[in-house]
Amino acid sequence: MSELQLGLLGIGVLVVVGVLVFNKLQEARLKRQSQEAFGSRHDDVLLGGKSAGARRPGGSTERIEPTLSEAPGEIAAGSGMLDPGIDFIATLETQAAAGEAISTAIVESSAHPAKAVSWEGYNRQTASWEPLAAAGEYQMLRAGLQLADRKGAASQQDLSDFGDLIQGVAKAIGASCTLPEPAVALERAQKLDALCADVDVQIGLNLIARGTAFPGTRIRAFAEAQGLALENDGRFRRRDESGLELYSLSNMEAPAFSAEAIKALSTKGLTLLFDVARVPGGIFTFDRYVEFARALAEALSAGIVDDNRQPLDQAALGKIRDQLQALYASMEQQGIPAGSPLALRLFA
């Protein structure tokens, strides 16, 4: 290669390098101008910035805008009561807020959602969520709107009212807040409501006298021998070791049972009630319920009938049992076993 060619090549390289440097300088200048014209020193709230709860000079507080999150309520370990499967969960973060001040802000809020709202604070010592305590102090909070209950699914208005409540409390305690996506929550609410409609079943076995009325003293003696106890509402109940109701026994006629009146009471009808979704133990507990009904019917010389006074023989009770097994399987598939804490909340 001649000296002329080498010189031309060197000049070409210098020109290319010069163009690249010039372009970089222009790009940096334009970027700087753009930031000066359109930039902001505040974090973008919708992208999870912390400035939503920041205080302005002079102690005033900015309006707190909720952020959106795909997985709410997972900012710390510990299960707590709230569950994204049935709750629309908002999280709040602050420097430190007393439990009493938080409770006051909740009570004084003008927003009152129709569905149940539960609040929890994060206990750093136990690394878990706990119900709010007046004497506690919290930097992280979460609140959950229950998405369905026996009255139906949460509506768009319920979610909106809940959002107003969260923003009001956050403003009162100087916190930032995060809310999940409402559209996803509404869809989940409808699915939960459909599940509730399918499995919200109460089975009533009625014991009808074939002849003379049942004496109250005999009813009480048999019930208590089988582990039932008479409670203040006038029903005998069988409960498990944790206190959950398994089934109840009530008078079909007026009045309800009472400790004093039962001594002179007689009745021609009793009702044994089994609340499917709320009773733990599934089909095993149902079998114990049926066994008790049969034993009581035999002791009182009574017939077992349904609400239409149609006899319930072994075949009929077997069909009910088969249907219950399908309902229990459906609840298990949804992660809400009968008698579980989630089921007790949904079917309160």
Average pLDDT for consecutive 10-residue bins of the chain (348 residues)? Answer: 55 53 49 38 31 32 39 51 94 94 95 95 92 93 96 96 96 94 94 92 96 96 98 97 97 94 96 97 97 97 94 95 95 94 93
pLDDT the model gives residue 348:
86
Q: At what angle do helices 156-173 and 99-108 cross, to 10 degrees?
A: 140
In sequence order, the 6+-apart residues with CB closer than 8 A to the CB of 171 are 61, 63, 64
**pLDDT at position 24:** 53
The reported pLDDT for the residue numbered 72 is: 39
Tell me the HSE value of 276 on the side-chain side, using a 13 A CA sphere: 21
Rounded to whole angstroms, how far apart are CA atoms 21 and 55?
44
Task: Check residue 80 and give its pLDDT.
Answer: 87
**Tokens at 335, concatenated:** 């992660």
Q: CA-CA distances (angstroms) from residue 177 to 32, 46, 62?
A: 32, 11, 13
Distance of CA 120 to the CA centre of its chain: 12
pLDDT of residue 231: 98
Closest CA to 127 of 73, 187, 194, 78: 78
Tokens 């009938």 sit on residue: 305
The Cα 236–Cα 249 span in angstroms is 5
Domain boundaries defined on the chain: 51-196, 200-346
- The number of angstroms, rounded, from the C-alpha of 118 to the middle of its chain's C-alpha atoms is 8
| Exposure of 342 in the CB half-sphere (CA atoms within 13 A) | 20
Cα dist from 131 to 24, 103, 138, 147, whole Å: 57, 11, 11, 19
pLDDT of residue 18: 57
pLDDT of residue 66: 43
How far apart are the C-alpha atoms of 323 and 204, rounded to whole Å? 15
What pLDDT sits at residue 79? 74
Instruction: Note whether 330 and 340 are within 8 A (CB).
Output: no
Residue 209 has a pLDDT of 96
Residue 20 pLDDT:
53
Domain 51-196, what architecture?
A: 2-Layer Sandwich (3.30)
The domain at 200-346 falls in which architecture? Answer: 2-Layer Sandwich (3.30)
At 57 the pLDDT is 29
